[in-house]
Amino acid sequence: MDLLFLVADAKFDVRQLLDKNPMMLGGIFTALGAVAVITGILSLVIPRFGDQDGHTLDEQVRPFKALVRIVFGIGFMGYGLYRMALG
């Protein structure tokens, strides 16, 4: 039971840390968005680019998944830049 309280306190401290430092939170979201955009672009450019399970994607599915990755990556990057700019 003590371990549960220790984990709960650790999560609370991380949340307080991210609330006090919006640049860190913005940087994390910007980095995640950049990774999503890069993997989306790579899946469009490289025909044998696989998904997270290691399977190659079909020709019909690959552009859709790439577009989803790019759109969500741009959204993550936008939110990260918003948090860094306005705090």
User: Helix H segments across the chain?
Assistant: 2-20, 22-45, 61-86
Which tokens hold the place of 86?
């306005």
3-state secondary structure of 26: helix
CA atoms within 13 A on the CB side of 19: 6
Q: pTM for this one? A: 0.73
Residue 52 confidence class, pLDDT cut points 50, 70, 90? low
Asked whether 81 and 32 are in contact (CB, 8 A), the reply is no
Asked whether 39 and 32 are in contact (CB, 8 A), the reply is no
Residues 14-47 pLDDT 10s: 777 777 888 988 999 999 999 999 999 988 888 7
Q: What confidence score (pLDDT) does residue 76 get? A: 96
- For the chain, the domains span 22-86
Q: What confidence score (pLDDT) does residue 12 get? A: 63
Residues 65-85 pLDDT 10s: 889 999 999 999 999 999 999
